[in-house]
Structure 1
Amino acid sequence: MSEAISALAGANNPNGFAAVAELGLHGMITVRGDQADAGFAKAVCTVAGVEALPEVRKCVGTLEGGVAWMSPDELMVFVPYSLVVEKLEELNAALDGSHFLAVNVSDARAVFGITGPKAREVIAKLAPVDLSPEAFGVGDLRRTRLAQIAAAFWMNSEDSFRLVCFRSVAEYAYNLLAMSASAGSEVDYF
C-alpha cells in the first residue's frame, strides 16, 4: 500500500508579512444530519472530543479534535489523520438507525495555516467577507470563495487562520495565499 502524503508536502512560505504553510494530513469527516437532534449532536461531539456543536458559521476545537459548521445540515469533523477510519466507524455505529451521512474526505482536502499579526489582511484581500475585527473573531468561520476556488476558513487565534480547500486546487490556493502575504503588499486596513 502506498504511503499517504499531503497535497504539497508541507510547503511553507515564512517570508511575507504573514506566514503561509500547508499543514499536512488531517482527518476530516463530512457529516450530514439533523444538528438539532440530541443523539446526532452527542455522537458527533463524542467522536470529535468537543463539548457542544458549533453555532452557525463557527468552529470549535482544533484540527486534531474539532467541529466546523458548514451548512444547516452539514458539519466537518476534525480528528487525527491516523484515527480517521476508526472515528468514522465509531460515528457510524453511534448513529446506526438514524438518518445521516458520514464520509471520510481527508484525502480530498488540503489544509493551510496563515499566521502573523496581519494574517487577517491576507484573507481579506482574497475573499468577499467582512474580516474587520468587529465582524470576524476567533472561532468565526466562513465557507466562501477564495479568488477562483471554493474554501472554508476560520480564525483559530487572534493572529492565525486555518483554511481548507479541495486538494485538487491546493497549489493554486498556496500560491494565492503566498502572493497575498508577500512583503510589501500590506494594505494596513485593519
Structure 2
Amino acid sequence: MIRKGRSKMSEAESLPVQLRRLDPPAMISLRAKPGTPGLAEAILAASGCALPAARSLTRSGEALCGWMSADEYLLVLPAAAGAAALQALQQGLQGQHYLAVDVSDARVCFALEGAGAGDVLRRLTPADLSALGPDELRRSRLSQVAAAFWQTGGGSYRLVAFRSVGDYVEALLSGAVTSARASGAL
C-alpha cells in the first residue's frame, strides 16, 4: 500500500510493511572540508544537530544532519525551517570555502515502515543492512539509482532519492513490498 503525505490510519496499515511518499521536508546540501573553522557551530546553529562522524547522522527533534561523503553533509529539517537554516549556515561559515544549497525541490523522501521493512529494502540494495546501526546513514543504490537511507526505529527506514527518479523509486519499493508479500516473507 502506498500512501502520500499524512492521512488517517486505515485497516491496511496493520500490515507488516507500509510505504509512504512523505511531504517534502527542507533539505540542504552542505559541502565543506572537515576542519573548516565554524563548521560544527554553523551546523548546530542551523539544525540543532552536532557535526556527524563518517557514515553517521545526528538528530535534534525533527531535524537531522547526515554525513554523505568526506566533504558533504545533508541537513533534513521541517519544511518551514529551511530558509532560516540556510541563513544560519551562511552566517556561520562566512569567509570560509563552502557551498550550502537548498535541494528540497530536487529530492523525494519515502518512509518504509514496519517489521518487514528491512526485508523489502534488502531486495533492492547491495548495502549490508545488518551492519547499519541506528544512527548510521548509508549512501547506496536502489536497483540502478542512487539513494540514501537510515533507520528510524522499529525496523523502519527513511529513504531519499533524486526527484527525477522519484516515481521509479516508488514503483521499485512498491514492487518489492508486493514481491515480499507474495513470497511469504511478510
**Superposed CA RMSD:** 2.2
Alpha-carbon shift at residue 15 of structure 1 (Å): 7.7
Alpha-carbon shift at residue 118 of structure 1 (Å): 1.3
Alpha-carbon shift at residue 16 of structure 1 (Å): 5.8
Matched, 1:113 2:111: yes
Q: How many residues align?
A: 178
SS at match of 1:181: helix
What is aligned with 1:79? 77
1:49-100 Cα deviation digits (max 9, x unpaired): 12x2122111221683110110000000112212212211121011110111
Q: Aligned pair in 2 of structure 1 residues 63, 169: CA closer, same or farther (>3 Å)?
A: farther
User: Within 5 A, what are the aligned runs for 1:10-159?
Assistant: 10=5, 14=13, 17-37=16-36, 39-50=38-49, 52-61=50-59, 64-132=62-130, 135-159=131-155
Partners of 2:29 and 2:141 in 1: CA distance: 19
Partners of 2:60 and 2:157 in 1: CA distance: 11
Percent identity between the aligned chains?
Answer: 38
Partners of 1:146 and 1:76 in 2: CA distance: 19
Partners of 1:123 and 1:100 in 2: CA distance: 34
Q: For structure 2, which runs of at least 5 residues remain unmatched after alignment?
A: none
Q: Structure 2: which amino acid aligns with 1:55?
A: A
Q: Which TM-score applies when normalising by structure 1?
A: 0.85
Q: Which TM-score applies when normalising by structure 2?
A: 0.87
In the alignment, is the contact (CA less than 8 A) between 2:45 and 2:88 conserved in 1?
no
What is aligned with 2:172? 176
RCO higher in 1 or 2 (8 Å CA, sep ≥ 6)? Answer: 1
Structure 1 or 2: larger helix share?
2
Q: For structure 1, which runs of at least 5 residues remain unmatched after alignment?
A: 1-7
User: Which runs of structure 1 show a deviation greater than 6 angstroms over 4 or more consecutive aligned residues?
Assistant: none
Partners of 1:166 and 1:11 in 2: CA distance: 21
SS at match of 2:66: strand
SS at match of 2:129: coil
